[in-house]
A and B are shown apart, each in its own frame.
Chain A
Amino acid sequence: MGSTTANQNNMLRVPGKAMEPKPKTAIQALTFPSVKREAVGPGLRVADRAFRCAMLACALSVLAIVAFILIELILQSRLSLHAFGWNFFTHQAWDPVAGDFGALPFIYGTLVSSLVALAISVPLALGLAVYITEMCPCWLRGILAFTSDLLAAIPSVIYGLWAIFVLVPLLRNYVEPWLATTMGWTGLFTGAPYGIGMLAAGVILSIMVIPIISSITREVLTAVPRQQREAALALGATRWEMIRIGVLRNARAGIMGAIILGLGRALGETMAVTMVIGNRPEIAKSLFAPGYTMASVIANEFTEATGDLYLSALVEIGLALLLLTLVVNALARLLVWSVTRGMPASTHAQ
């Protein structure tokens, strides 16, 4: 995903290079099999063929792995698939003792925590990307880009550790009481401020997702041709108008892709969320209340699951999570593709 935008970047960044054959076509021109090689012995040709087959096997192993994951998950979850059918996804109960399982609280928790994360991270990530590419002095650019990339390299478990001991007390003592008094009327910020809960999960997820969104957005913004900016400035636009009209509007396809990619990451994130979300399979309107996500119920209960049906229900949640992330990632691609196809918004609407 990221690399497809990178490829587009390279093409956009240096229009003069379009004269040279693109790398991919150059390789395609090098049609190895059509090279006549009567001069070399048959032994060499066998070696070539063997090498080629080995590389093909490596490539096919990727297909095999994904197929294996899918098949394995479907096989392991067939007990619960048979027992609950589609009701599994609309059923609220999660009672291992009675053998009554429904995935709705987990699906709800995954979606809500990810949406909270996006609501916080998208404006910040876009602001950071715009600042780095358009506004900041040159010497600061490298430093900022490096530090935001470092954020992406921090392991999930360390975010969780930090969240437990720093973020949660901060939310409990300052942020949540304040939100309750100022925004309590919305119904989203009511109840006892535990600190631990959906809001904490959303905040820590947003910190983890920001570097992904902002680094891809940065790539996309730098790909916008310089002439666009110069033209806007020459027409008398202020810097913000230049960014809005000249840069952001041209880059929105890539930005959308970046956001959805961030969503994909947030949906599957496990450790940090498990450590702060409170792990209670309930659906509550308030963001202060503890929740549970699909990934964290697997992390917590998979090794302790007694009984085949319990295990199978957990595997089915995993299968659903896998399919959900696949759909989201595919959507990101499709969206980028459709928007880049219809470049100007006006012609697109016709």
Chain B
Amino acid sequence: MPNNARSKLFGWKRAVVDRLATAGAVFAAVLVIVPLLAIFVYLVARGAGALSWSFLTNAPKPVGETGGGIGNAMAGSALILGISCLIGVPLGIGAGIYLAEYGRGKTALLVRFIADVLNGVPSIVMGMAVYALVVLQQKHFSALAGGLALGVMMIPTVTRATEEMLLMVPRSIREAALGLGVAEWRTVLSVSLRTALPGVITGIMLAFARVAGETAPLLFTAFGNQFWNWNLNQPTAALPLQIYTYAISPYDEWHQQAWAGALVLIVTIVGTVAIVRLVANRGVMKGTS
């Protein structure tokens, strides 16, 4: 029967295509996971050797001298990230509360759209804008400018997380509070936001993890510094900047330090993300993204 033969041939072809597609997907999955593993293996293999107490506590030394470290860069990063959290978290939560609790009409739509726009602004452009706004006025680079650039970058993520989490808080809880005569602002703060807090904190930590590794916005705001600095108005070192400086230098010992610094940075960031995943999986806010 020609018809039967044809359908048999067709079935054989389909089976082959099916196998090929499966193989392709497996191949893609392997190919994606390989660079990740390669990066981690390289970081640990090349960086772990240079890790020591003095590396973590010293400031960089000139080429040729041993014992230089990233202590000042870590302190500077902490300083800059602290400032950025002070700017990004309250503004982000406030905007999120507005969108979730009062967000109706055109203003809210516009704010949502602009928050997405802000999220898409390339980080280098953010650095440039802060340079024009702060550095040009002050005539010098500063930790404050770096913190401002990173803080603004945190806002959209925090806003989105706050809004989404607040919208998940059941209406009945709010009504119960209002029904007891609790003031509206108090209801929002100590009932709605309180209930949504774990999710909001997750959002903040994700924003933090994203911003902690940013280098481009710091190039011409915090600028970097080879020495210890606690003055908010002075150029300040940051870990990603220091890694960049070391990586593009021609010296082998600096390359070594770049790997070790990168190991410290990645452990911080991956640690943050892992904690977030763990908490989110624990079911504190189950069913959320």
Contact = CB atoms under 8 A, between A and B. Distances in A.
Interface of A: 1, 3, 6, 21, 23-24, 26-30, 32, 35, 39-40, 44, 47-48, 50-52, 54-63, 65-66, 68-69, 72-73, 75-76, 123-128, 130-132, 134-136, 144, 146-151, 153-162, 164-166, 207, 210, 214, 219, 238-241, 243, 264, 267-271, 275, 295, 298-299, 302-303, 314-315, 318, 321-322, 325-326, 329
Interface stretch (B32-40, B55-63, B65-73): B32-40
Interface residues of B, number: 102
Contacts of B9: none
14 contacts: A23-B168, A40-B181, A52-B184, A59-B103, A72-B132, A73-B129, A73-B132, A125-B32, A146-B277, A155-B212, A155-B215, A157-B213, A161-B258, A270-B124
A238 B183 contact: no
Contact of B91 (A27, A44, A58, A303): A58
Contact of B219 (A68, A159, A219, A303): A303
Contact of A241 (B18, B36, B119): B18
A72 B31 CA distance: 43
B248 interface: yes
Contact of A326 (B120, B216, B220): B120
A26 B171 contact: yes
A329 B116 contact: yes
**Interface of A: prevailing SS:** helix
A16 to B, nearest CB: 14
Contacts of B38: 162, 166
Interface centre among B43, B95, B258 (most CB of A within 10 A): B95
Contacts of A240: 17-18, 20-22
Contacts of A54: 94
Nearest to A155: B213
A23 B39 contact: no
Contacts of A63: 110-111, 114
Nearest to B129: A69
Interface string B105-146: 001101100111111111111101101110000000000000
B121 A69 contact: yes
Contact of A322 (B21, B121, B164): B121
Nearest to B141: A303
